[in-house]
Each structure stands twice: as C-alpha cells, then as structure tokens.
Structure 1
Amino acid sequence: MKVLAEYNDPIKGIPLKFALIPVGELKVPPFQRDLSELLVKRLFISMEKLGFLHPIIVYQEEGEEGFYVIDGQHRLEAAKMLGAKELPAIVIPKDLALNIMEFNTEKPPNIREKASQAYRLYKQFLELNPEMEELELAFYIEEPSYITLGFVLEEINKKFPAGAFENLLKKIDEFLSLPLAEAAEERRRRAKKVYEVGEVLNAVYEKLGMTNALMKTELLRKAVQRVYGKRVRKIEDDFYTALEKVKKALEEIGEEGIGEGELL
C-alpha cells in the first residue's frame, strides 16, 4: 500500500487514509452481497471511456494481510477486467466498516440482498462473540426482519418470496434481548414459521391461477388487511400469533377465490 494522504473526514472527524493499493491485496468480506454481472459490465464500459474516478473504500483486519473492499466490489471487478494493477482507495477503521448496510452506494440492495447481508454479518458476529446480545446488532443491521428473512433464504430456501413479507415483518419482528448463541436458534424458529406462511402463500397463488409473481405481495397484503385493517401501522400481536392469523386469512382467501384485478 502506498499512502498518498492522511486526513480526518470533515463531518465526524474520523481518521482516514487515501492510498494506492495493489489489486492482488484487495478482497471481498464474507458478509458482502453477491456480484451483479450486469453492473460489472456497465462499469467496465464506463471505465473504458472515463477511467477509474471513484475510489473504493476498504478496511484491514488486525493481523491479516490485504484489505477488505467494503464499498466498490463491482468497480474492483470491472477494473480487474481492464487490467488495472492498483486502485485508489480510502482506508477506514474496522468499526466503521461493519456498518455494511450503509455502504451500498453502487447499486441500492433489494430486500433479498439486504437479508443475505444481514445473515452473513450475523453469522460473523455469532462466531466472534456468541455471548454478545443481539440487541447490539441494531447499530449494524437496519431491520431485525432482515435477519429473519436471511435465515429463511440462506438456510431454508433461496427462492422464498422475501419481498412479499417485508412490510409485515417490519411490523412484528424485533431485535432480541438474548445472547447471539440463543438468539440464532430463535431466528431459526421464526424463519421456519415465516417459511410455513410462505408455503401457504405459494399454494394460494397457484390455486387461484395467478402468473404474475408480484401478486404474491398483493395476496399477503390482502390477508394482513383482512386481519388488521387497511391502514394498519402497528400490530400488537406477537410474532407467531400475527403470522398464524395471516396464514389463516390466506387460506380463507384461497377458498373464496379472488382475481388479480381485485387485488390491485
């Protein structure tokens, strides 16, 4: 690494370094989201015309060689394709880097990506400090529901319709006052229940002959409205009670029959 400058950021006063780092020393952290091939191709075309103008953001683990790319994974891959040997980077402290959800500036992550990121970050904290309370992860993970959905996607079924459940789970899920070792098991129980409701949702979707996957979101919304009203902002029922009620409402909708036009 060749340090070009050291400075403090103008808002928080955090010590930073601006450096040139050999491409061979750059690596992706285990909790980073998966690459988008389309975005890499677009960046390749852009860099071919304009060059590499946007520094990546990296951090370094104590005692390890190399640097983890916390923002700029796609730019790194595109630059590799163009034969870059070293890249400009801003080196930040590790504690700042763990706020991974705040560093997705290349392409805003969708719910599936957020959930998978939350899961990977969760597993890393679990491995490093199983006695840490899950509540402390609120500083690093935007929504507790992303953790639950991450367990569904990563441990049960990657094709689960996570987007359909986003709004409901935000109203009923919460960070747990449990050590991560215990909290992880509760997350698995919650994931299993969410998946169970998802299976009912899929069955109703098929039974009603729907073909537009977006209708799964509308079906679940209809079920939630049936139980809690059209403009519900807060659900008082606990996690499992709420999901059980919504599941029964979905089953009722399936028995009654409803067309796509009635959902929009």
Structure 2
Amino acid sequence: MKVLAEYNDPIKGIPIKFAVIPIGDLKRPPFQRDLSDLLVKRLFISMEKLGFLHPVVVYQKEDEEGFFVIDGQHRVEAAKMFGAKELPALIIPKELALNIMEFNTEKPPNIREKASQAYRLYKEFFQNSPETEELELAFYIEEPSYITVGFVLEELSKKFPAGAFEPLLKKIDEFLSEPLEKAVEERRDRAKKVYEVGEKLNEVYEKLGMTNALMKTELLRKAVQRVYGKRVRKIEDDFYTALDKVGRALEEIAEEGWQEEDLL
C-alpha cells in the first residue's frame, strides 16, 4: 500500500487516507450483499471507455491483513477483468463501516429497472455497432426477456404490468442470432405482442371488478397454468403461439366470471 495523501473530511473532520492498494489486498466484508453480475459487466463497459475514476472506500481491522471494501466491490470485480494490479482507495476508520453500509444498502433492482437498463444498453449497441449479433449481448444482459419488456416500457407504455409477465417471458423469450440492425424489428414485434396481452390482462382485470393490483399477477399465472399446467418449467411453444394461447385463456377466465377469492 502507498499512501498518497491524508486529510480530514470537510464536514465531520473524519481522518481519511487516500492510497493506492494492491488489488489482492482488497476483500469483501462478510455482511455485504451479494454481487450483481449484470452490474459488474456494465461497469466493465464503462471502464473500457473511461478508466477507473472513482476510488473505492475501505477500512482495516487491526487483527487482519488487507482491507475490506465497504463501497465499490463491483468496481473491484470489473477492474479484475482488466488485470488491474492496484486501485485507488479512501481508507476510513473502521467504526464508520457499519454506518456506511446502512446508508449504502440498496434494494435489488426489479424487472422494470432491469428492463430499462437492458433497453438503454441495447440501444447503445444498436447505434454504435448495429452489426453486432444480439446473442453477444447475453454477456451484458441477464435475461433476453428484459430487452422485450424494455421495449414495451420505453416505447409503448410505462404502465405495462411487467412483474406479472416476468415468469412467463423467461420461459419463452431468447436471444436472437441476428445482427441488431435486423433483431431490433423483431424485438419491437415481440414487445407489441406482449403489450397486446398486457392490455387484455388489464381488460379482464377491470371486467371482473378486481381492485387489488396484485391480482393481475395471479390472473396471468392462472391463465398460464390453464394452458401449460401448474408446475410448468419449460414451454415448447414459440413466443407468439404461447402468448396467443395465454391470451385466449385470459378471455375464458373473464367469461367464467372469476373473483379475487378464486385466485387465492
């Protein structure tokens, strides 16, 4: 470790060291949340363009070697992918570690957030490298269904019930073996189809007089079960056929006049 500077923070007067630390000496604290592979990949892309600009925040225990990364572990993992040997770090007193963890706790991103991220990344690749095969984006995007939902949310309707569709779409969507300049139109077609079934779900929900928004998820789940069984793990039908069948099942449920208690 090489200390480059020492100073006190301007608000609380906390003593801080700015140092360069060998990457092998940076460790994860035992109470930190699990890492997100998707975030690491996104940071890798960012560093490829900008480098490593944001120091990690670490603390040290007197009885242990190395430094625990309290803020920046995802950046550390991304830097390792470049073969980085050392990283800039701010060393803080260990008693502040738990306080920082308390304020640094984040909820795992939901499907709407993941889908919007996937859409932005997809559009970036499309604009800069339209010849890239969509299949190559599997390295950066966790699920192909996030791309489709992203197109729905960003181009068709922000109110689309994305959470209700997540289990189904994970079973029927896939990355396309086509360059983005062609694949983008298929993505838009898939998004339109999903949106249509989403509108049908909303219509059935209103027709049955339901008021609990969580029932949309249950309605769709029952429709899928009606077509494919209660414990379906894999759906053999193609994307459009599966959605057509589920859409018809929703219509049947509406005609039968189901109530909220029938879904529980």
Matching of residues 119-138 of structure 1 within 5 Å: 119-138=119-138
Q: Give the Å deviation of 1:256.
A: 1.1
Q: Give the Å deviation of 1:128.
A: 1.9
Moved more, 2-11 or 106-115: 2-11
| Pair 1:65–1:173, CA change in 2 (3 A) | closer
**CA distance in structure 2 between the partners assigned to 1:202 and 1:181 by the alignment:** 32
What is the letter of the counterpart of residue 5 of structure 1? V
* Alignment correspondent of 1:114: 114
**CA distance in structure 2 between the partners assigned to 1:67 and 1:129 by the alignment:** 25
**CA distance in structure 2 between the partners assigned to 1:233 and 1:117 by the alignment:** 27
* Alignment correspondent of 2:162: 162
* Alignment correspondent of 1:151: 151
Q: Give the Å deviation of 1:96.
A: 5.7
**CA distance in structure 2 between the partners assigned to 1:255 and 1:209 by the alignment:** 13
**CA distance in structure 1 between the partners assigned to 2:122 and 2:106 by the alignment:** 23
Given candidates 16, 19, 36, the residue that maps to 1:4 is: 19
- Classify the secondary structure of the residue corresponding to 1:158: coil
Contact (CA 8 Å) 2:143, 2:170: kept in 1 or not?
yes
Contact (CA 8 Å) 1:61, 1:67: kept in 2 or not?
no
Matching of residues 26-175 of structure 1 within 5 Å: 59-60=46-47, 62=49, 67=53, 106-175=106-175
Matching of residues 107-256 of structure 1 within 5 Å: 107-256=107-256
Contact (CA 8 Å) 2:227, 2:246: kept in 1 or not?
yes
**CA distance in structure 1 between the partners assigned to 2:199 and 2:80 by the alignment:** 39
Contact (CA 8 Å) 1:58, 1:89: kept in 2 or not?
no
Contact (CA 8 Å) 1:59, 1:67: kept in 2 or not?
no
Cα RMSD, aligned residues only: 3.4
* Paired residues, number: 199
**Structure 2: stretches of 5+ with no match in the other structure:** 6-17, 27-41, 58-70, 83-103
Q: Give the Å deviation of 1:61.
A: 5.6
**CA distance in structure 1 between the partners assigned to 2:111 and 2:144 by the alignment:** 12
**CA distance in structure 2 between the partners assigned to 1:105 and 1:187 by the alignment:** 34
Identity of aligned residues (%): 69
**CA distance in structure 2 between the partners assigned to 1:202 and 1:96 by the alignment:** 45
- Classify the secondary structure of the residue corresponding to 2:19: strand
Structure having the higher Rg: 2
**Structure 1: stretches of 5+ with no match in the other structure:** 12-31, 33-55, 73-87, 98-103
Q: Give the Å deviation of 1:121.
A: 1.1
Q: TM-score, normalised by structure 2?
A: 0.66
Contact (CA 8 Å) 1:111, 1:163: kept in 2 or not?
yes
- Classify the secondary structure of the residue corresponding to 1:189: helix
**CA distance in structure 2 between the partners assigned to 1:175 and 1:95 by the alignment:** 27
**CA distance in structure 2 between the partners assigned to 1:246 and 1:220 by the alignment:** 8
